[in-house]
Amino acid sequence: MLYDLRVIRAVAIKDIRSALTERLFSSISIIVPLNFLLLFLLFVLTGGQAPTAIVMDDSGAYAQQFVSAMQGAHSFIIQQTTADEAQRLMAQGRIVAIVTVPADFDSALRDGRQVELPVLVNNLNVDYTNDIRRAVPLAITSFYAQAFPDQVVVQAMEDDVHSHDTDYIQYLSVSIVVISLLIGGLLQAGVSAAREYEAGTIKELLLAPASRWALEVGKLLGALALSVVSAAVVLGVVVLVLGVTPLYWSEVLGFTLLVMLTFIALGLLAGTLVRRRTSVIPLSIGISLPVFFISGAFGPVQWGTPALAVISQLQPVYYAIAVFQHAFHGFQTTPFSLSTNALVLAGFTVVIVLASATALRTRAMP
């Protein structure tokens, strides 16, 4: 037992020292997870609201009320401009629609006449264009509901489950922490395992009078120690820079450790199977991105397609995102309880470590 502990310690220290000799790669393995955080935040910044210019040829009360209805439609980022300025902004690609409130808007409505509302759309693609095509009539109905409440009587009355709205960046940044831990774990552990094969040192390790378990645990702990830095950096950015304060700090710390262990074990498995460091990097990124997207990073997967919901439950990132969303926001994002999610995650860790140890044994054979 004591001998095994010494082996574990020696393997872990050896891996840490080996990694530190490659300073550029060590820096990259810290920077890459942080990169993912920043890149996905750029992804999130893509607003769902259409930048739109309103040209007011009428400044009457109804015209003003109509602009208010557009602002309340959750669909536009509005700026009031002149017709020339609007055309200039459109030519520069800074807006995607121009809505012109005609000069007779108020008088026509008072007289019960029809009003044609000119809307110029930069129909670059169907998705954004249809948003505008839906949102303008929506704003018109909302305007009528306010201006002519006896004519448009049907209105939406909202009631929310949670006491306050959570900004998309606040929500998604928590999911991004998980992908950063995934990338960090895969890179550190994968490279550490592959290095043994590339340098031929795997022979020495396997010929040593040490159990495969001790070797496996040693490599796991070595990669864990190295991954702590990138995990701390990513968590630091999310908490201190983005201002996403966890609801339950103890859960954040405990689940970070559990999730890191899972992903590091996955990295060891990948590195043992691939055996080349050059393959580990694209593989890590290649695996992480699609897994992240199907794991409920943007919201509960149950709200998507049923097939995707089933597939996502077969891998650990789904449960990792669930426990982190609970730790930070107190949200339930899977149909399972928090303890069930944590137990499944722990189960995945055990299975992956077993698979990794088995791979070490089988891949060592000629």
Partner 1 sequence: MNREARAIWAIARKDIRVWLRQPSAVAATLLPAIVLLGVLYIGAAAVGRNPVALVVQDDGPRAQQLMTQLEDSDAFVVKSFSTADEAEHALETLQVAAIITIPSEFDAAFDAHLPDPVSIRINNLNLDFTNDLRRSLPAAITSFYAGQPTNPIEVHVEETDLRQQDIELLQFDLVPDLVLLLTIAGAINAGLATAREWEDQTIKELLLAPIDRRSVVLGKFLAGWLTTLIVAAIVLSIGAISGYLRPSPSGWLPALVSVALLALASAGLGVAIGATARKFQRVAGLTIPLAFYLFFLSGGISVIAFLPQWVQTIAQFIPTFYGMHALQMVLFYDSTDDLLRDLAVLALTAAAMLLLGTASLRRRLNA
- Quote the tokens at residue 218: 């040693």
Measured at the alpha carbon of residue 268, what is the angle toward residues 265 and 270, in degrees to the nearest 5? Answer: 110
Verify binding: residue 200, partner 1, rule CB under 8 A.
no
Tell the smallest beta-carbon distance from residue 28 to partner 1 (Å): 4
> Does 95 interact with partner 1 (rule: CB under 8 A)?
yes
d(CA 110, CA 62): 9
Query: Which of positions 335-354 make contact with partner 1 (CB under 8 A)?
Result: 335
Which residue in 82, 278, 337, 362 binds partner 1 (CB under 8 A)? 278
Distance in angstroms (rounded) separating the CA atoms of residues 34 and 231: 9
Q: Which of 1, 2, 42, 314 binds partner 1 (CB under 8 A)?
A: 42
* Shortest separation between residue 29's beta carbon and partner 1, angstroms: 8
What's the token pair of residue 296? 């409920």
Q: Rule CB under 8 A: say whether 117 interacts with partner 1.
A: yes
d(CA 152, CA 38): 45
User: Using the rule CB under 8 A, which residue among 80, 82, 201, 305 binds partner 1?
Assistant: 305
33 sits in which H/E element: helix 23-45
Q: How many chain residues interact with partner 1 (CB under 8 A)?
A: 107
Candidates 10-18, 146-154, 215-223, 355-363: pick the segment binding partner 1 (CB under 8 A). 146-154
In DSSP terms, which residues pair with 77 in a beta bridge?
51
Backbone angle region of 22, left / alpha / beta, with phi > 0 → left and psi within -120 to 50 → alpha: beta
Report the DSSP beta bridge partners of residue 99: 54, 119
- The residue count of the chain comes to 366
Regarding 248 and contact with partner 1 (CB under 8 A), the answer is: no
Using CB under 8 A, which of 166, 211, 313, 358 touches partner 1?
A: 166
Residue placing its CB nearer to partner 1 in the complex, 213 or 293: 293
Q: Does residue 361 touch partner 1 according to CB under 8 A?
A: no
- Using left for φ > 0, alpha for ψ between -120 and 50, and beta otherwise, residue 118 falls in beta
Site for partner 1 in 6-25 (CB under 8 A): 24-25
Looking at 1, 2, 21, 112, which residue binds partner 1 (CB under 8 A)? Answer: 112
Q: Does 153 bind partner 1 (CB under 8 A)?
A: yes
Closest distance between partner 1 and the C-beta of residue 346, in Å?
22
Quick one: which segment of 131-139, 224-232, 263-271, 358-366 binds partner 1 (CB under 8 A)? 131-139
Count Cβ atoms below 10 Å from residue 306 Cβ, excluding itself: 9
Pick from 104, 242, 126: which is nearest to 174 by CA? 242
The interface region with partner 1, picked from 7-15, 108-116, 213-221, 342-350 by CB under 8 A, is 108-116
Stretch near partner 1 under the rule CB under 8 A, chosen from 39-47, 227-235, 256-264, 354-362: 39-47
151 binds partner 1 (CB under 8 A): yes
Per CB under 8 A, 307 contacts partner 1: no
Site for partner 1 in 214-243 (CB under 8 A): none
Q: What sign results for the dihedral spanned by CA atoms 345, 282, 18, 271?
A: positive
> At its nearest, how many Å lie between partner 1 and the CB of residue 301?
9
Is 250 a binding residue for partner 1 by CB under 8 A? The answer is no
What is the biggest distance separating any 2 CA atoms in the chain, rounded to whole angstroms? 96
143 near 72, Cβ under 8 Å? no
Q: Is 299 in the site for partner 1 (CB under 8 A)?
A: yes
Rounded Cα gap, residues 217 and 219, in angstroms: 5
Interface with partner 1 (CB under 8 A), residue from 225, 289, 338, 346: 289
Contact 226, 320 (CB under 8 A): no
